[in-house]
């Protein structure tokens, strides 16, 4: 809330500076009136607007995939218990609401003064307005459709004054003043709202003066203005006789009309607004890196809803610590087996993220220490959390000790006949109740795998009904240790040179382009993922060694088949000229997401490839016979249609130039490349 108020005031100040420097002295009074009202309204709205195209986000190579960080549910950060006060209102809110109450009382007193004048005066009704004749007074002002005039105003001045006040009524100037009066109540602490109201009040008088002066001699009107009359100190009425404004009104009456070309000055509003939008988009994007997987509208809507709820609760209780404690009290009532709903998980992550920004480090912490970027929650992360909870609920409790919580993890995975070659598959009778011998075998194998004495990278334990993957997680400390000799792509002095980029002026941009070309060229959507309808983003982190070789590929995605395909694509990257940092060849760490997105089945098979998959069999729908290659061997249509789809790893369809370039004239009708599982 404080940030919003500061931004509003800053924007208002900028708008007023533009007005005072470029527009105030022009005679485009109606345009200026619109400018003041519109600019104030914009100052209230702009801080809420965030344009995605303008958002400043960290380069993707800076944002390492979230699975490389510790995946345990972090503890909720709470401070020592505070004694809540009787009203449960913070000091800041107390001052804010107290000031608003005083402003309302002042406003009420002003309304009372107007009503008192009306009660004492002689009320006369006309078609377009109501006139109140105030006895023993030279007062003259209007309020909505009522004109207050003193009975001691000279008769020769009466007509001009009446015409002047009627202009205020016809142009509804009271609505402008009342709008700013309400803004004064809400933002009583904001000095600029008073300046805005003062500027709009001046404009009202200039507008009315210019209208009346068209039908009356300026000299007589100026003489009238030079006189000092009795006034009422009411900020939201249009006063004819206001001593502080008399001189300005005379100057404006004498001023020549501004040239129409001067209206181009109002275009200054465009770059000012664009600059403000740029600022708000960047400001709200700082501090929290966007998770590459938080891209679906459902997640975005839920995050927005939770942030709004937290802001409302923050206004009510006064501090983020109280918001965090309230949430902790609710969730701590659940037992250890309880699995958060998606809403609870998202709120848990967001509350902790907001709390982490308030953490203050002691003197013993190095000054250059920077806490890692907080990522937004996503559906895939929630699914990981659920599968992890389920895994430990199902898994034999004797294995809790075998899976060190700080360095390893376990997650429920889909049971399958074929697991990754990198996984050691350990089959047991009952995953929920292991025998002593099974526990010993498990412990021995886990020790071998994670001591890097095995060709496997992780372990799958299954009883046919359930399958749980046990893997080594890379937390912050481990990652820092492993990355200490590697330089991030974003900050390396000279990036690795991708083949074909040797003569490029911007080798960094060329590297990115070549990476995209490489992925497009080698991309094959795994058939199993297509059949299961699996799509999403796979986060990849790999190293380009100081010899230019691709090493240490890490991946994380919504399904193992997508992870395997992403790793296959990256493993095909060519050898590069190594990166250089501080004059030496170095290993460069690079991260990126690869998005797998399914099209409707009809589009994939009928429109694109001419292939239809049904009941684990193929049907070729092409009019002309395409070249069919199964594991590189030419095959006829009938044999292809007899292949069980369960044994297929991937299908790739080549057309036109891509087909003939690779297979000559045989590929002129298209090529279907089928790769079987090994």
270-291 burial code (b ≥16 CB/10 A, e <16): eebbeebbebbbeebbeebbbb
Average pLDDT over residues 569-596: 88
3-state secondary structure of 586: strand
208-232 burial code (b ≥16 CB/10 A, e <16): bbbbbbeeeeeeebbebbeeebebb
Average pLDDT, whole number, for the chain?
A: 75
Amino acid 191: pLDDT: 92
User: β-strand 458-462 against 423-427: which pairing, if any?
Assistant: parallel
Query: pLDDT tens digits for 609-646?
Result: 455 544 445 555 555 567 888 888 888 776 776 776 66
- Per-residue confidence band for 31, with pLDDT thresholds at 50, 70 and 90: very high
Q: Which two tokens stand for residue 355?
A: 């709390």
- Percent of the chain clearing pLDDT 90 (strictly above): 15
Amino acid 293: pLDDT: 42
Query: pLDDT tens digits for 85-142?
Result: 444 566 777 888 899 999 999 999 999 999 998 998 899 998 889 999 988 888 888 8
Amino acid 453: pLDDT: 63
Q: Taking the complete model, does pTM exceed 0.75, yes or no?
A: no
3-state secondary structure of 375: strand
Residues in the chain: 678
- Per-residue confidence band for 320, with pLDDT thresholds at 50, 70 and 90: confident
Q: Is the pLDDT of residue 236 over 80?
A: no
Q: Is the pLDDT of residue 262 over 60?
A: yes
- In whole angstroms, give the CA distance from residue 335 to residue 444: 32
User: β-strand 238-239 against 671-676: which pairing, if any?
Assistant: unpaired
Amino acid 550: pLDDT: 93
Amino acid 130: pLDDT: 92
- Per-residue confidence band for 9, with pLDDT thresholds at 50, 70 and 90: very high
Query: pLDDT tens digits for 406-447?
Result: 456 676 676 665 566 778 888 888 888 888 888 888 888 877
Average pLDDT over residues 524-541: 77
Query: pLDDT tens digits for 483-516?
Result: 557 888 877 889 999 999 999 888 888 998 898 8
Neighbours of 614 (CB within 10 A): 10
- Per-residue confidence band for 357, with pLDDT thresholds at 50, 70 and 90: low
Pairwise pLDDT comparison (354 vs 333), residue with the higher score: 354
Q: Is the pLDDT of residue 452 over 80?
A: no
- In whole angstroms, give the CA distance from residue 485 to residue 504: 27
Q: Is the pLDDT of residue 564 over 60?
A: yes
CA atoms within 13 A on the CB side of 424: 20
Query: pLDDT tens digits for 83-98?
Result: 344 445 667 778 888 9
458-462: strand order across its sheet: 408-413, 467-472, 458-462, 423-427
- Per-residue confidence band for 576, with pLDDT thresholds at 50, 70 and 90: very high
Amino acid 332: pLDDT: 67
242-251 burial code (b ≥16 CB/10 A, e <16): beebbeebbe
Element (H, E) at 564: helix 560-571
- In whole angstroms, give the CA distance from residue 202 to residue 564: 71
465-502 burial code (b ≥16 CB/10 A, e <16): ebbbbbbbbbbeebbeeebeebbbbbebebbbbbeebe
Amino acid 221: pLDDT: 60
**635 strand-pairing partners:** 628
Tell me which residue of 477, 451, 462 sits closest to 424, measured CA to CA: 462
Report the Cα 280 to chain-centroid distance in Å: 11
- Per-residue confidence band for 299, with pLDDT thresholds at 50, 70 and 90: confident
- Per-residue confidence band for 37, with pLDDT thresholds at 50, 70 and 90: very high
Amino acid 33: pLDDT: 93
- In whole angstroms, give the CA distance from residue 300 to residue 285: 14
Query: pLDDT tens digits for 188-208?
Result: 999 999 999 989 998 988 888
Q: Which domains does the chain have, with CATH numbers?
A: 290-468 (no CATH), 485-596 (3.30.1150), 601-676 (no CATH)
- In whole angstroms, give the CA distance from residue 465 to residue 609: 36
- Per-residue confidence band for 67, with pLDDT thresholds at 50, 70 and 90: very low
User: β-strand 374-375 against 288-289: which pairing, if any?
Assistant: parallel
């Amino acid at each position: 809330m404080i940030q919003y108020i500061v931004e509003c005031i800053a924007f208002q100040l900028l708008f007023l500076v533009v007005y005072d420097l470029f527009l105030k002295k022009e005679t485009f009074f109606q345009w200026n009136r619109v400018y003041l009202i519109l600019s104030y309204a914009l100052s209230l709205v702009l801080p809420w607007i965030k344009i995605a195209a303008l958002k400043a986000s960290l380069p993707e190579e800076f944002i390492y995939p979230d699975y490389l960080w510790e995946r345990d549910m972090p503890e909720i950060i709470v401070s020592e218990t505070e004694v809540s006060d009787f009203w449960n209102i913070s000091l800041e809110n107390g001052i804010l609401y107290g000031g608003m109450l005083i402003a309302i009382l002042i406003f009420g007193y002003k309304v009372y003064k107007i009503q008192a004048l009306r009660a004492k005066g002689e009320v006369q009704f006309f078609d377009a307005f109501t006139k109140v004749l105030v006895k023993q007074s030279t007062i003259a002002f209007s309020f909505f459709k009522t004109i207050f005039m003193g009975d001691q105003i000279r008769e020769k001045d009466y007509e001009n004054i009446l015409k002047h006040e009627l202009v205020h009524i016809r142009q509804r100037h009271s609505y402008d003043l009342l709008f700013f009066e309400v803004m004064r109540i809400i933002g009583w602490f904001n000095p600029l709202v008073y300046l805005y109201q003062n500027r709009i009040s001046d404009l009202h008088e200039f507008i009315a003066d210019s209208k009346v002066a068209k039908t009356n001699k300026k000299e007589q009107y100026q003489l009238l203005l030079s006189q000092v009359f009795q006034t009422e100190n009411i900020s939201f009425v249009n006063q004819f006789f206001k001593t502080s404004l008399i001189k300005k009104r005379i100057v404006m009456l004498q001023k020549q009309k501004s040239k129409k070309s001067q209206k181009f000055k109002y275009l200054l509003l465009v770059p000012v607004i664009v600059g403000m939008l740029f600022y708000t988009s960047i400001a709200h994007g700082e501090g929290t890196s966007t998770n590459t997987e938080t891209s679906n509208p459902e997640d975005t809507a839920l995050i927005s809803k939770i942030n709004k709820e937290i802001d409302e609760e923050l206004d009510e209780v006064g501090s983020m610590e109280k918001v965090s404690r309230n949430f902790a009290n609710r969730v701590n009532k659940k037992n250890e087996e309880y699995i958060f709903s998606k809403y609870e998980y998202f709120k848990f992550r967001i509350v902790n993220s907001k709390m982490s920004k308030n953490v203050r480090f002691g003197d013993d912490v190095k000054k250059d220490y920077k806490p890692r970027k907080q990522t937004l929650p996503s559906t895939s992360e929630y699914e990981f959390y659920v599968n992890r909870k389920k895994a430990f609920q199902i898994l034999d409790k004797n294995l809790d000790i075998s899976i060190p919580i700080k360095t390893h993890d376990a997650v429920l995975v889909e049971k399958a006949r074929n697991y990754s070659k990198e996984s050691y598959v350990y089959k047991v009778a009952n995953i929920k109740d292991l025998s002593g011998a099974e526990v010993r075998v498990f412990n021995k194998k886990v020790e071998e795998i994670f001591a890097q004495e095995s060709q496997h990278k992780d372990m799958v334990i299954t009883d046919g009904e359930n399958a749980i993957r046990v893997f080594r997680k890379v937390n912050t400390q481990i990652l820092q240790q492993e990355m200490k000799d590697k330089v991030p792509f974003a900050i390396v002095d000279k990036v690795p040179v991708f083949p074909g980029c040797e003569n490029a002026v911007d080798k960094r941009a060329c590297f990115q382009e070549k990476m995209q070309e490489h992925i497009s060229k080698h991309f094959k959507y795994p058939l199993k993922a297509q059949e299961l309808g699996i799509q999403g983003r796979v986060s990849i982190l790999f190293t380009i060694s100081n010899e230019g070789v691709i090493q240490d590929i890490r991946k994380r995605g919504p399904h193992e088949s997508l992870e395997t395909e992403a790793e296959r694509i990256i493993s095909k990257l060519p050898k590069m000229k190594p990166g250089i940092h501080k004059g030496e060849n170095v290993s460069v760490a690079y991260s990126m997401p690869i998005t797998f997105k399914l099209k409707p089945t009809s589009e994939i098979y009928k429109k694109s490839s001419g292939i239809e998959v049904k009941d684990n069999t193929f049907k070729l729908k092409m009019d002309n016979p395409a070249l069919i290659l199964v594991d590189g061997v030419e095959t006829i249509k009938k044999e292809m249609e007899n292949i069980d789809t369960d044994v297929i790893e991937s299908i790739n369809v080549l057309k036109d130039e891509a087909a003939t370039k690779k297979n000559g004239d045989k590929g002129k009708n298209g090529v279907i490349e089928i790769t079987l599982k090994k």
